[in-house]
Amino acid sequence: MTTHGQSSSQHLAEARELLEELKAVTQGPDGEPQTKATAAAAHAILVLAEQVAVVRVLLAGDAASRRTDAQPAQHP
């Protein structure tokens, strides 16, 4: 799971960098409306993907905590 999480995080970071690079093309009066709309949609999807990633981390932590709590205490 760690590998998948690291991969997802890397992909999200790369997508964020790409959107930052596109700002020069999409911002200002010279930006084409279709390009601006596409960049805005991509940004919205990226934000949603980042929120889903955070929820997955929280759920995984909660599940791990429940497993730890459910295990009986071992006596030496």
What are the sequence ranges of the domains in the chain?
Answer: 2-67
**pLDDT given for residue 4 in this prediction:** 63
Rg of the Cα trace of the chain? Answer: 20
Mean pLDDT over residues 31-41, rounded?
91
What is the reported pTM? 0.70
The helix/strand/coil state of 1 is coil
pLDDT (average), residues 33-43:
92
Backbone φ and ψ of 43, nearest 5°: -65, -45
How far is Cα 46 from Cα 39, in angstroms, rounded to an integer?
10
